[in-house]
Amino acid sequence: MDVVLTFNISDKLLTECREIIGVNVSVDPEGNGDIQIVSTKYVPNQRTKMVQSIYGGIERLKLEKLPPDITVCTNPGAFKRSVSEHAFAMILSTIKKLNYHNIRTHRRIFKKEPEDTLYGKVIGILGYGGIGSQIARTAKVFGMKVIAYTRNQVEDPNVDSYAISIAKLISQSDILVILLPYTQKTKGLITTDALTMFNGNIIVNMSNADVVVKNDMLWYLKRYPEKYYLTDVWWGEPVIRDQIPDNCVLTPHIAGEVLSDFEDAVISACRNVKSYIDGDVRNAVDLTEYLM
C-alpha cells in the first residue's frame, strides 16, 4: 500500500512518516497513492481509498471531487497550541487595550486608566475538540470559568459545565470562542439572533468565517462599538473587500503558521493513517455533513 503526501516536507520528517506508518511513503503532488495525506489539496485519483487531512477540519479541500466511497479522516487537535496561543494573544491585547496604550504613549500621552482582567470571567467554547480543550487549560490558568458546547461531551477537569444549548452558551459567556467545523449545519449559524443573546464583550472566531453571517456581524459591531470581534478568518479571504470596523481585530489566517506545530500535525496524521492500515479507522467524517 502506497502513502503519498501532496505537499512538501523535509527529508527528516519524511523518514519519520515512513517509520510510523511502516509502508512506502513519498511526496507526490499528483496524489498517486492508495492513501493521500493532504493539507489544502486533494488530488482526484482512482487509486485513492483514504484521504487524511493534517488539519482538524476538511473545509479547505474541494469536497465535490471526493468519490462517495472514499474514507476521509480529520486530525483532531492539530495546531492546538499555536491556535490557542493566538486566540489568547488577541483576547489579552484587547482586554488590556495594548494597541490603544501603545499609540497614546508613542504620542507622549502617559496616562494611567483602569484595566480589566480575565480572572473570574466566563469563557464559552463553542465546539469543544482538541483546540477547545487547549483553550480551556489556558483559561483555567487565568482563573476563568469555562463552559462549553459540543455534541460529544467528555469528562474534563478544565470544563466547569457543559451548556445544554448554543443559545445558553452564548448568553452565559463573557468571552465567546468559536471553534466549530464548517458543515451544512454550522454554515451561517451565528446570526443577529445569536449575537443579540450575547451579554459579553469579546467574540473570537478561530474556525471559519462563514460560520458567522457577515452582514449580521458588521451590523452588530456598528450597533455595539464597545464590543469586539477578534478573528483569524475573513469572508472571501485572501481578498478583503469590506471596511473593517474599528472594534474588529483581524489577522490573516496565521494562527496555525508555526513550524513545530506543522510537524506535529503531520506526525499525528501519520499515526491516524497507521491505525487505518491496521483496520482501526479513527476520526472519519460523514461527507454528507460537509458537501455543499
Cell numbers given for 223: 450597533
From the list 193, 95, 176, the residue with the least C-alpha distance to 163 is 176
Q: What is the pLDDT of residue 40?
A: 83
Peptide bond into 67 cis (omega under 30): no
Q: Where in the chain is the domain with CATH 3.40.50.720?
A: 3-77+258-290, 80-250
Q: How far apart are CA 36 and CA 27, in angstroms?
A: 10
3-state secondary structure of 289: helix
Q: What is the pLDDT of residue 60?
A: 74
Q: What is the DSSP string of 142-156?
A: TT-EEEEE-SS----
Q: What is the pLDDT of residue 287?
A: 84
Q: Residue type at 156?
A: D
CATH says 3-77+258-290 is which class? Answer: alpha beta
3-state secondary structure of 249: strand
Q: What is the pLDDT of residue 292?
A: 52
Spell out the per-residue pLDDT of the chain, length 292, in tens.
Answer: 899 999 999 999 999 999 999 999 999 999 999 999 999 888 888 889 999 999 988 877 777 777 878 999 999 889 999 999 999 999 999 999 999 999 999 999 999 999 999 999 999 999 999 999 999 999 999 999 999 999 888 889 999 999 999 999 999 999 999 999 899 899 999 999 999 999 999 999 999 999 999 999 999 999 999 999 999 999 999 999 999 999 999 999 999 889 889 999 999 999 999 999 999 999 999 888 875 5
Identify the bridge partners of residue 148 per DSSP, sorted by sequence position: 125, 162
Checking DSSP bridges between strand 50-53 and strand 71-73, what pairing results, if any?
A: parallel
Cell 470581534 sits on residue: 229
Q: What is the pLDDT of residue 291?
A: 57
CATH says 80-250 is which class? Answer: alpha beta
Strand ranges for the chain from DSSP E: 3-5, 25-27, 35-38, 50-53, 71-73, 122-126, 145-149, 161-162, 175-178, 202-205, 228-231, 248-250
Q: How far apart are CA 237 and CA 80, in angstroms?
A: 22
